[in-house]
Amino acid sequence: MQHCLRLAAFGLLQLLGALSLAYAADAYPDVKIEPAFTNNGELRLPTDFRRWVFIGAPLTPHALNNEAAGFPEYHNVYVQPEAYDYYLRHGSFPEGTVLVKELQLTKERAFPDGSRLEASGRGFFPGTPNGLDVSVKDSKRFAATSGWGFFNFGHHAPPYEASATLAALESCASCHQANAHEDMVFTGFYLQLKPLPTGKPMDNMK
């Protein structure tokens, strides 16, 4: 009897594994670099994301926010190349899109507004990395948060956590639901999502 139960349990595990693989294969047909989850649903840290397409870097420094900015760093945002191409073709993000936001501190301030002088002039300049947030589009898995899941891999210098649990609604998703420009994403800050205008530079020089 116990032998039969063990065989049944083994068969069930195989079935669940096959279903999981089938879901993964069908869930994200438009991306090659897929989000990877652990058995308990945590998101694995994306690898080589700095080789992905860079789409923007908003900045909200402490000095311009009464010394209390929630994210006082550059928000360096990357997306998989195939998700970027899909967006350019269709104007929307495909299932399986992964947006990586790596936080990067500004260099030490020299003036009260947080700026400093460098060879190019006075301004804000990137310093050390200081955290990593990731959002994943999966309309089924994250139906409760408008189709996107949000994950924090640490608000500190690298190395980041190897995996992260889904953030609570009030931590990230609710802000995106209330304020994001399009499909839970602040696309208005990422003009690299728009194709470059075409023109005739040589004609303009005449």
pLDDT tens figures, 132-167: 999 999 999 999 999 999 999 999 999 999 999 999
pLDDT band at 7 (very low <50, low <70, confident <90, very high): very low
Which pLDDT score, from 0 to 100, does residue 15 have?
A: 45
pLDDT tens figures, 161-195: 999 999 999 999 999 999 999 999 999 999 999 98
Q: State the Cα–Cα distance between residues 78 and 133, nearest whole angstrom.
A: 11
Q: Which residue reads 């990230």 in tokens?
A: 172
- Chain-centre distance for alpha carbon 171: 15
Q: Is the pLDDT of residue 203 over 80?
A: no
pTM recorded for the entire structure:
0.84
pLDDT tens figures, 33-68: 999 999 999 999 999 999 999 999 999 999 999 999
Which pLDDT score, from 0 to 100, does residue 130 have?
A: 96
Which pLDDT score, from 0 to 100, does residue 5 have?
A: 47
Provide the residue type at 125 as one letter.
F
Which pLDDT score, from 0 to 100, does residue 8 have?
A: 46
Domains of the chain: 29-195 (3.50.70.20)
DSSP-assigned letters across all residues of 135-156:
EEE-TTTTGGGTTEEEEE--SS
Which pLDDT score, from 0 to 100, does residue 2 have?
A: 58
Which pLDDT score, from 0 to 100, does residue 156 have?
A: 96
